[in-house]
Amino acid sequence: MNLLVNTEGCREALIALEDGTVLRGRGFGAPGEAFGEIVFNTSMVGYQEIVTDPSYAGQIVTFTYPQLGNYGITSTDAQSERPRLRGVVAHDVCRTPSNWQCVQSLPDYIAQSGVVGIEDVDTRALTLRIREAGAMRAAISTVDLDPKSLLSRVRSSAGIGDHNYVADVSCDGPRVVHARGEERHHVVAYDCGMKEGIVEHLAQAGCEVTVVPWDTPAEDALALHPDGVFFSNGPGDPTSVPHVPDAVRTVLGKLPVFGICLGNQMIALAAGGSIQKLPYGHHGGNEPVMNLLTGRVEVTAQNHNYGVVFPSLGRLVPELSGGVAEHPADGDLRAWSRARIAPVVRNERYGRIRLTHVNLNDGTPEGLQFLDVPAFAVQYHPEARPGPNDSAYLFESFARLMDGRDDYLAIDVREGRCR
């Protein structure tokens, strides 16, 4: 594919994918080059939250919505102090936004952080290529405009799993975020690339949150005498991140534990489970997920390329899994949603683990609940920054788990919606 767009007054740019796809467009943001793993995001709004989400470190994000930047950048919507992704791909970018809260245009905003962008490319065709070939190495360049040269350099670049991106985006030292209203609990939150919206929701649930760096020894976290421990979202391949599974193993069984996204994967690794890379991941604000405990379907915000392999956590317990003794042969967990069963496996380390949430698009696992130790986790982002509010109840679930309630996950989605 080769789309000629060299608009007068704007620098020409190329984007190359390792499968040989090369698109020509025009640059915006910072001049230069960006190498990373290319993915696509299907959200229609919330581009500021997306470009500042630390989970995108090491990645180039293609926005499927055709126009980007219409309402500019606000002073309140960022999920970290600056953009964290490697590059931005768009069809049409607005340089003159209109919004009473706007303080800056999107091109100027990403340029300040050295983020390279390319527009005037066919993002529909590009998204189809990623769906067909999977997430892959890619590059955007405004300096190397030779397709063969750029493609060769892409194919020799490092993969997303070759680097620990969590270490790049975690905080440098502890900080405290006070509870909003009456304080119910004190939580230590491991910052593996945590979004500000997650911290805010924990605080809104009545938690004083002590945020600590990703590599904090579990003994140091326990010395703070928290009521619970939280493991956050974050970027990259979870198997390239040391220390965190060890911290999970140390605290599981001692205190209530909650994990989101990368935190979910870390909890599974701590339990001896395995992780798989999804073909092109889940990135957007419209992923349907069934809560197997309530039968409710939640429309969720997600951002991950890796997921837990549920059968790797143990063999099914038939008497707790509707009489079923074998995992689905095709790995599609939607059979459990159709049967309205939340299956349970026997784990060698932590006893019984229940599957609580299933993705209705592809049948991948989206939530786990430990039945013999106080812990649960989900693969998606319930804080909705950006995205729908259907899963915001999970922060209240964590508070109820720390209260000692057994029914902490059985909350109707309507109870937890943001007000």
Read out DSSP for 171-220?
A: -SS-EEE--SSS--EEEEEEESS--HHHHHHHHHTTEEEEEEETT--HHH
190 annotated among ligand-binding-site residues: no
CA dihedral sign of residues 71, 75, 79, 83: positive
Residue 52's closest CA among 15, 14, 27, 84?
Answer: 84
Q: Which residues does the chain have with pLDDT short of 50? A: 1-9, 416-419
| Domains (range + CATH), the chain | 12-162 (3.50.30.20), 166-415 (3.40.50.880)
**pLDDT of res. 413:** 67
* Residue 10 pLDDT: 66
Predicted local distance difference test score (pLDDT) of residue 84: 95
262 is annotated as contributing to ligand binding: yes
Q: Distance (Å, rounded) from C-alpha 101 to C-alpha 98?
A: 9
Q: Residue 31: which residues within 8 A CB-CB, separation 6 or more?
A: 11, 116, 142, 143
According to the annotation, is 27 in a ligand binding site? no
pLDDT at 7: 37
pLDDT of residue 387: 84
pLDDT tens-digit series, residues 28-85: 999 999 999 999 999 999 999 999 999 999 999 999 999 999 999 999 999 999 999 9
Q: Which of 18, 261, 283, 287 is catalytic?
A: 261
Is position 381 annotated as part of the catalytic site?
yes
The confidence score (pLDDT) of residue 412 equals 72
Partners of 89 in the beta sheet? 62, 118
- Is 265 labelled a binding residue? yes
- What is the spatial distance between Cα 202 and Cα 180, in angstroms, rounded to a whole number? 9
Catalytic residue among 185, 283, 357, 381: 381
Specify the pLDDT at position 418. 42
pLDDT digits (tens, 9 = 90+) for 272-303: 999 999 999 999 999 999 999 999 999 999 99
Q: Residues 364-402, buried b or exposed e (16+ Cβ, 10 A)?
A: bbbbbbbbebbbbbbbbbbbbbbbbbbbbbbbbbbbbbb
Catalytic residue chosen out of the listed positions 18, 49, 119, 383: 383
Active site includes 357? no
207-230 pLDDT tens trace: 999 999 999 999 999 999 999 999
> What global pTM score does this model have?
0.94
Q: Specify whether 261 is catalytic.
A: yes
Question: Is 150 annotated in some ligand binding site?
Answer: no
Residues 75-89 pLDDT 10s: 999 999 999 999 999
